[in-house]
Amino acid sequence: MNIASDDKIAAILPRYTDNGDGTVIIDARGQEVFYPVGYKPIIRQLAGRHCKDICLLRDWAKVKVGRRLWLPLGFSWELVLTPIKVRDVRVKGDGTLGYVNLTHIKRVKEIENIASVELNNGMIIPVLWQLETLRHHLKDAILLHFNIVHVIDKTIWKRLYKNVEMLQLYKKSE
């Protein structure tokens, strides 16, 4: 499967079609690509692309957010997938779960008593949860994103400090 880069993935949603169940990836511009598989193989491929084990990623999320189900998945600072319930099951075994990339969420709101996620590209995704539940899951994803960015920031400062040390060492040797 050829999946868009992290910064281009806006949402990963289950979709019923005439040919059966599958998954749609919505990109940053709002274009959709259909994959004739469930979301799990796509999530596994994203984890593999980052050299991350999906079970360890979920264990890390459990510790950070303090919950066991409906966990956000933090692959990178550009791809933190927030779980959302987007459909009811038609056939036993079909998934109800979709994911929205935190970095592409413009806002969450209620439209005619239906909680919805509005993406930066203008698309609106209805969610089968109450608005408060949606906000709670969004808060968890924000927490993971903060942790990822914090580690990156610490690394950058360490590298900058090390570069300054090396520069000072070079100047002393002249």
The mean pLDDT of 58-71, rounded to a whole number, is: 92
User: What does pTM read for this prediction?
Assistant: 0.85
Average pLDDT estimate for 168-172: 74
pLDDT at 142: 94
Q: Per residue, what are the HEC states of the chain?
A: CCCCCHHHEEEEEEEEECCEEEEEEEECCCCEEEECCCHHHHHHHHHHHCCCCHHHHHHHHHHHHCCCCCCCEEEECCEEEEEEECCCCCCCCCCCEEEEEHHHEEEEEEECCEEEEEECCCCEEECCCCHHHHHHHHHHHHHHHHHHHHHHHHHHHHHHHHHHHHHHHHHHHC
- What is the phi/psi pair of residue 161, to 5°? -60, -45
Structure tokens at 153: 């920031």
Non-local CB neighbours of 151 within 8 Å, separated by 6+ positions: none
Task: Tell me the pLDDT tens digit for each residue of 74-129.
Answer: 999 999 999 999 988 777 777 789 999 999 999 999 999 999 999 999 999 999 99
Asked whether residue 174 carries a pLDDT value surpassing 70, the answer given is: no
What are the CB-based long-range contacts (under 8 Å, 24+) for 24-30?
26/119, 26/121, 26/123, 28/104, 28/120, 28/121, 29/121, 30/119, 30/121, 30/122, 30/123
What is the percent of the chain with per-residue pLDDT over 70, rounded to a whole number? 99
- Higher-confidence residue of 162 and 51: namely 51
